[in-house]
Amino acid sequence: MNILIGLIAALSGYLVGSISFSRILISIRAPGEDASAPIKHTISSSGAVFESSSTGATAAGFKLGTKYGCFASILDILKAVIPSLIFKLWKPDMPFYLIAASLAIVGHNYPIYYKFKGGRGLSTILGGFLILDWVGVIVTNTVGFLLGGLLGEVVLIRWTGLVLMIPWIWFRTYDPLKLGYVIFANLLFWLAMLPELKNFFQLRKTGELPDEQEVADFLGMGSVYRVIKRFSIANLFKKNKDE
């Protein structure tokens, strides 16, 4: 493998990934808003505060609305799609595109332009996965949507596809490099999520967790949750019990 090309792939992926589109959108649409300030959501049932230091698409959605959150997410997807696609088309038989995709996630989570304080990388991971295996993205996220919908769990819809890509890539390709990339992407995501997970378990310990609707609204998935709630097993069971 050409080391110089590998370094170019890594550098280009990292520098492009370090662009914080959520910060850019917030600075344009809400100039007085501190784009780096933590997101704080007061839980209606308990008054406890859930806090996130993420500056990714979730932050843009929370501070500007769902429309801008979706727009930031699309731009974050493209941060991985563009550099990894270039290297895949240029050197299709070499893993340079995996290097570019991996470093795009690193850049998003630890951006050099913003003192290494970034987001959690979910959209950027999705962008790299689309170049790696777009069929797998559709299948695993469909499974996540169905599972989360049936159980009425928003986080399953959002995160299941990420984890399921690990067995999917292995059994589909048996390629250790591709498997390593998918595992690396998962590790980066869960590592970045540690502050939120810590906050979550603290709230769980004190019985102050928000309900699923609040979680959905916080993640910009409120309308999706209202639809799936009607068809969740819990809701159907409750409806039959009431009848």
Q: ∠9-15-18 over CA atoms, to 5°?
A: 130
pLDDT of residue 240: 53
Q: ∠146-213-136 over CA atoms, to 5°?
A: 25
Beta strands in the chain (DSSP E): 39-42, 49-52
Coil vs helix vs strand at 42: strand
Would you write out the chain's pLDDT as a tens digit for each of its 243 residues? 689 999 999 999 999 999 999 999 999 999 888 888 888 777 776 777 777 888 889 889 888 988 999 999 999 999 999 999 999 999 999 999 999 999 999 999 999 999 999 999 999 999 999 999 999 999 999 999 888 878 777 788 888 999 999 999 999 999 999 999 999 999 999 999 998 888 878 877 777 767 666 766 666 666 666 666 666 665 555 555 555
The secondary structure of 68-98 as a DSSP string is HHHHHHHHHHHHHHHHHHHHHHHSTTSTHHH
pLDDT of residue 216: 65
pLDDT of residue 219: 66
**What is the Cα–Cα distance from 136 to 115, expressed in whole angstroms?**
34
Domain range list for the chain: 3-242
Indicate the pTM of the whole model. Answer: 0.88
pLDDT of residue 92: 93
pLDDT of residue 138: 97
Coil vs helix vs strand at 165: helix
- DSSP annotation of 65: -
